Amino acid sequence: MNHIKFFIYQFILFVPALVIHVYADQYISKPLTYVDVAASLITLPIFILVLVVLSKMYKNYDLIQKRNKYLLSGTAFILAGLFIGQMEYIWYQITGELIFS
């Protein structure tokens, strides 16, 4: 049961992290401008919050071996990417517009 809960938590945390990364990537580019700094300042607290939640979550799952944590996290990351891609595809079929273009 701990493995399933750990996997679900990882999946739930990876989906917003990937979405935030995609949106922030549009604003951060080669010549560093005020827009880049503003985008970094907006996304930095969000990533710090995610890391704090992850560190607290990992303390609750000390019984799971580290190898299993890595495997579950990797699988959750891949499934989060596929989930976001599927949501993009469904949205495109409904509206004809891409979300992450």
Q: Which residues of 53-69 are buried (b: 16+ CB within 10 A; e: fewer)?
A: eeeeeeeeeeeeeeeeb
78 falls in which pLDDT band (50, 70, 90)? very high
Task: List, for residues 43-76, the tens digit of each pLDDT value.
Answer: 788 878 878 877 777 777 888 898 999 999 999 9
- Residue 87: count other Cβ atoms within 10 Å of its Cβ: 14
CA 55 to CA 7: how far, in whole Å? Answer: 15
Q: Is the pTM of this model over 0.75?
A: no
> What token pair was written down for 68?
């299993």
Q: Give, in order, the Cα–Cα distances in Å from 63 to each of 59, 66, 84.
A: 9, 9, 30
